[in-house]
């Protein structure tokens, strides 16, 4: 089988799916090569990501990666969310096929873009 049970579960039953009104940060990333577009929304209170959601246009791996990434950063400090790696997302999904690893990279980039948007809107300096 190409996909793990966790990938299939997050694809069939995505967590935190949907647009978030009044998000504190929104990150949108895309990969023209594969056509996947990922939009991540975060709500932040006292430097903790209290809520997160996503809208993804793409393949099952992209949807599963988005879903898993939201689960991994929800309730965490913003700095911890910034440390999320595509490798951690892929491992949490019990692996992705090599030709689908770019989906976990998009999830990492979407989280970072949402945090950057939050920082920019609130005048918070981002560490390099």
Q: Identify the active-site residue in 89, 103, 106, 111.
A: 103
Q: How confident is the model at residue 24 (pLDDT cuts 50, 70, 90)?
A: very high
Q: How confident is the model at residue 1 (pLDDT cuts 50, 70, 90)?
A: low
Look at residue 126 and tell me whether its pLDDT is greater than 90.
Answer: no
pLDDT digits (tens, 9 = 90+) for 35-62: 899 999 999 999 999 999 999 999 999 9
Active site residue 34: yes
- CA 102 to chain CA centroid, Å, is 13
Q: Identify the active-site residue in 8, 17, 34, 59.
A: 34
Active site residue 59: no
Instruction: Identify the three-state secondary structure at position 11.
Output: helix
Instruction: Identify the three-state secondary structure at position 125.
Output: coil
* Beta carbons of 93 and 78 less than 8 angstroms apart: no
Look at residue 108 and tell me whether its pLDDT is greater than 60.
Answer: yes
**Which string of DSSP letters, residue by residue, matches 40-82?**
EEEEEETTEEEEEEEEEES-HHHHHHHHHHHHHHTTSBHHHHH
The tokens describing 124, both together, are 């918070």
């Amino acid at each position: 089988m190409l996909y793990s049970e966790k990938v299939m579960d997050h694809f069939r039953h995505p967590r935190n799916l949907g647009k978030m009104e009044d998000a504190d940060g929104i990150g949108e990333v895309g990969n023209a090569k594969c056509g996947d577009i990922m939009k991540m929304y975060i709500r932040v209170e006292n430097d903790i990501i209290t809520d997160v959601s996503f809208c993804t246009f793409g393949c099952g791996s992209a949807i599963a990666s988005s879903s898993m990434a939201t689960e991994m950063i929800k309730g965490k400090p913003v700095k911890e969310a910034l440390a999320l790696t595509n490798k951690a997302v892929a491992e949490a999904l019990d692996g992705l096929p090599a030709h689908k690893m770019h989906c976990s990279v998009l999830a990492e980039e979407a989280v970072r873009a949402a945090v950057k948007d939050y920082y920019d809107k609130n005048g918070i300096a981002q560490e390099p």
